[in-house]
Amino acid sequence: MNLSVIILAAGQGTRMHSTIPKVLHPLGGQSLLDHVITTAERLEAAATYVVVGHGGEQVRDALSARRVEWVEQAQQLGTGHAVAQAMPMIPADHLVVVLYGDVPLISIATLQRLVAAAEREALGLLTAHLADPAGYGRIIRDAQGDVVAIVEHKDATLEQRDINEINTGMLAVKAGYLQRWAATLDNNNSQGEFYLTDVIAMAVRDGVAIKTVYPVANTEILGVNTKGQLAQLERVYQLQQAERLLAHGVTLRDPARLDVRGQLTVGQDVTLDINVVCEGKVVIDNNVAVGPNCYLRDVTIGTGTVIQANSVIEEAEIAAGCRVGPFARIRPGTRLAAEVHIGNFVEIKKAAVAQGSKINHLSYVGDATVGARVNIGAGTITCNYDGANKHQTVIEDDVFVGSDTQLVAPVTVGAGATIGAGSTITKDAPAGELTLSRVAQQTRKAWKRPVKKPKHDK
C-alpha cells in the first residue's frame, strides 16, 4: 500500500519563551522536527507533508535540504484543520500517518506496527497508559472494550478524567476516509478548535474498525512544550545513545555524563570518560581512549589514539597511535599523521603534521606543513598572519626547533635543520644547518634591582 506522512509543525510554542519556532529547538544536536522527518523517511513513504504556521519561513529555511512537501496553515485552528490543509494533495488510496513535529522520539518499530494496524480499511490509533494523564485526551471505550471516542482533557467529565489511557495524537488511516472526515469537523468545543480526535467518533459512525497500538516505551510519545520538557527529553535521548554504545561494547565511565549531538560511529574497545561531547559526524576507530571533558566535532580518530583530558578537536583528522592533550586545541583543517604527539596547551590550526612529529608544550602551529619526526620545542609559534593575509610555514622532515622560537611566515625550514632556542626566523633556514638569531648576552655588574619604597602610616 502507498503511504503518505503528515507532520504537524505549525504550533507557536509560546511556553518556550523563544523567538525560535518550537520545532526548531535542538535535541541531541538536531531540531525536533529533523528527528521526526528522519523517522518518517524510514517508513519509505511516497511523500512527507510538513504543515507549518508560526515561523513557517524560518522552519523551511532551516530544513531546506530535507525532501518534504511544505504545507502552510495560515491560521492555527487546531489539529484537524492542520491535517485538512494537506489532504487535497494526497491520493485517496494512500494510507496516511499523522505525526507531530514536537514529538521527536517516536520509534520506527512503533510506527511500523501502527501502519500494520491500519491495513484492511481499519484506523490505527496510537494510545498509551500514563500514571498521570492530565492534559491528554482520554480514550473512551464501550463495554466490549472497543474505542468509541476521544475526549480532550478540557472537555472531559470528572469520571472521564480518571481514565489513564490517553491519545498520543498519532494515527494511520486511509486518505479517502480522512479527507471526508476532516472536511466535516466542527469547532464546537471549549477551545473553539477543529480537533483531529473527533474523527474517531466519525470512524465509529461509519463502521471503520479502530485498532489501538501501544508504543514500545512511553518516552516515545513525550512532546515538548517548555524548556523544562526539552531538557528532560534531552536526558532521555542521551541515555538512549549511551545504551546503544554500551550494547556495541563501548566503555562509558558514566553513561549519564555523555552527550552525542549528531552521528557517532565507534569501533571496538573504545573508552569514553565523563563529560565527553560529540557533535556532528564523529568516527572513532578501535582501541581509542578519550579522556574526561573533551569536545569532539566532525572528527575522525584512528586506531589506538589517546585523547587526554580537556581537549577540543574540531573538523580534524587524527590518524592511528597519536597522543593529544591534555588541554590541547585542534582546530579545523588539521591533519595529524600516525604517532604524532600534541601536548598540553598546544593549538594547531589548518596544519598537516607528518608521522612521528612532536609538539608537546605551549605552542601554536597554524597554516603550516610539518614533516616527519619533527620536534617543536615549548613556546614555539608560527607567525602566520600579517594583519591582512595568512601565510604558510613549511617545516621539513627531521627538523628540531628550539623553545621560544617564532617562525615568521612565509618561511621554510629545510630538512634536518636545527633552530636555536629563542630565535625569530624571518628567512628560510637551510637544510641540515643550525640557524639562530639572538642578541649577545650581557651581564651588567653592580646593577641593583629596584626596591619598593616602604609605605608610611599617615
Q: Over the stretch 43-52, which tens digit does the pLDDT of each residue have?
A: 999 999 999 9
Report the pLDDT value the prediction gives residue 438, as an integer from 0 to 100: 86
Q: Over the stretch 154-173, which tens digit does the pLDDT of each residue have?
A: 889 999 999 999 999 999 99
Q: How confident is the model at residue 455 (pLDDT cuts 50, 70, 90)?
A: confident
Does the bond joining 326 to the residue before it have cis omega, within 30 degrees of 0?
yes
Q: What is the 3-state secondary structure (H, E, C) of the chain?
A: CCEEEEEEECCCCHHHCCCCCHHHCEECCEEHHHHHHHHHHCCCCCEEEEEEECEHHHHHHHCCCCCCEEEECCCCCCHHHHHHHHHHHCCCCCEEEEEECCCCCCCHHHHHHHHHHCCCCCEEEEEEECCCCCCCCEEEECCCCCEEEEECHHHCCHHHHCCCEEEEEEEEEEHHHHHHHHHCCCCCCCCCCCCHHHHHHHHHHCCCCEEEECCCCHHHHCCCCCHHHHHHHHHHHHHHHHHHHHHCCCEECCCCCEEEEEEEEECCCCEECCCEEEEEEEEECCCCEECCCCEEEEEEECCCCEECCCCEEEEEEECCCCEECCCCEECCCEEECCCCEEEECCEEEEEEECCCCEEEECCEEEEEEECCCCEECCCCEEECECCCCECCEEECCCCEECCCCEEECCEEECCCCEECCCCEECCCECCCCEECCCCCCCCCCCCCCCCCCCCCCC
Q: How confident is the model at residue 58 (pLDDT cuts 50, 70, 90)?
A: very high
Is the pLDDT reported for residue 1 higher than 80? no
Report the pLDDT value the prediction gives residue 11, as an integer from 0 to 100: 85
Active-site residue flag, 81: no
Residue 161's Cα: distance from chain center in Å?
A: 38
Q: Over the stretch 379-418, which tens digit does the pLDDT of each residue have?
A: 999 999 999 999 999 999 999 999 999 999 999 999 999 9
Closest by Cα among 91, 99, 125, 98 to 1 = 91
Average pLDDT over residues 74-98: 93
Is the pTM higher than 0.95?
A: no
Average pLDDT over residues 4-11: 95
Q: Over the stretch 117-157, which tens digit does the pLDDT of each residue have?
A: 998 899 999 999 999 999 899 999 999 999 999 998 988 99
Question: What phi-psi label fits residue 133: left (phi over 0), alpha (psi between -120 and 50 degrees) or beta?
Answer: alpha
Report the pLDDT value the prediction gives residue 457, as an integer from 0 to 100: 65
Is the pLDDT reported for residue 16 higher than 90? yes
Report the pLDDT value the prediction gives residue 13, as an integer from 0 to 100: 86
Q: Spell out the residues 6+ positions from residue 85 whose beta carbon is closer than 8 angstroms to its own.
A: 51, 71, 72, 73
- % of residues, the chain, pLDDT over 90: 89
Contact between 54 and 21 (Cβ < 8 Å): yes
Average pLDDT over residues 352-374: 98
Q: Which domains does the chain have, with CATH numbers?
A: 3-221 (3.90.550.10), 249-435 (2.160.10.10)
Q: Spell out the residues 6+ positions from residue 145 whose beta carbon is closer than 8 angstroms to its own.
A: none
From the list 54, 153, 361, 391, the catalytic residue is 361
Q: Spell out the residues 6+ positions from residue 378 whose beta carbon is closer than 8 angstroms to its own.
A: 360, 361, 362, 363, 403, 404
Q: How confident is the model at residue 74 (pLDDT cuts 50, 70, 90)?
A: confident
Is the pLDDT reported for residue 439 higher than 90? no
Report the pLDDT value the prediction gives residue 458, as an integer from 0 to 100: 57
Q: Over the stretch 91-126, which tens digit does the pLDDT of each residue have?
A: 999 999 999 999 999 999 999 999 999 988 999 999
Report the pLDDT value the prediction gives residue 288, as an integer from 0 to 100: 98
Report the pLDDT value the prediction gives residue 407, as an integer from 0 to 100: 98
